[in-house]
Amino acid sequence: MLKWREEYGFTIMATQTQKMFQSSINLMEWLEKWGYITAGISFLILGMVVFLNGWGTFLFSLHAGVLKAAMRLMVDLLLVIIFMELFRTLLEFLKTHTLTLEPFLYIGIVAAIRRILTLTAHDTALHVSPEQFQRYLWDLSLHGALVFVMTLSLFVYKKETHPKH
């Protein structure tokens, strides 16, 4: 009889431990979900702030030159696209609980193009040394290659995930 009580007491303790463990997991899942939600809202707000700032900067810098102002606006709008794609990716993850490669390839392509535009706008406006020009060419080439590789990867990924019937 004493042995049965020890086993019974152990069973109660094990059940309580399992309940505490499950409660901890539920709390962590709830915190994770709200972490994704707040990150998504932050990306949305940042996108709107960059959008408004980009247009404000564009309008106030038109007097310095339309081309320079337009290039700056384009770089800002590409950053907005990155923020919105991150927002959409988080939203899709919250709905399906799965992540796919496709949105990250889009983000990478846009980020590399944005860097190319930033480099072009910044470095061509300045007189640079031969060493700086060499770094500029390497940076430009690397980001151009990244755009090519990620676009090719996106093409292969879409072909594999959406085969024709």
Q: List average pLDDT for each run of 10 residues in the chain, which is 165 residues long.
A: 52 76 92 95 97 97 90 93 95 92 94 88 67 86 95 93 75
Separation CA 89–CA 107 (nearest Å): 10
- Count: domains in the chain: 1
Q: How many Cβ atoms are within 10 Å of 69's Cβ, its own excluded?
A: 17
* Residue 129 belongs to some domain of the structure: yes
CA dihedral 17, 22, 27, 29 (to 10 degrees): 150
Count the alpha carbons within 13 Å of 111 in the hemisphere toward its beta carbon.
Answer: 13
**131: domain range?**
19-161
* Residue 8 belongs to some domain of the structure: no
* Residue 14 belongs to some domain of the structure: no
Residue 14: the pLDDT is 67
And the tokens for 119?
A: 């480099």
* Residue 69 belongs to some domain of the structure: yes
The one-letter amino acid at 135: R
Phi and psi of 97, rounded to 5°? 60, 30
* Residue 93 belongs to some domain of the structure: yes
- Where is 105: in which H helix or E strand? helix 102-123
Look at the pTM and tell me if it is higher than 0.85. no
* Residue 128 belongs to some domain of the structure: yes
**Helices and strands per DSSP (H, E), number in the chain:** 4, 0
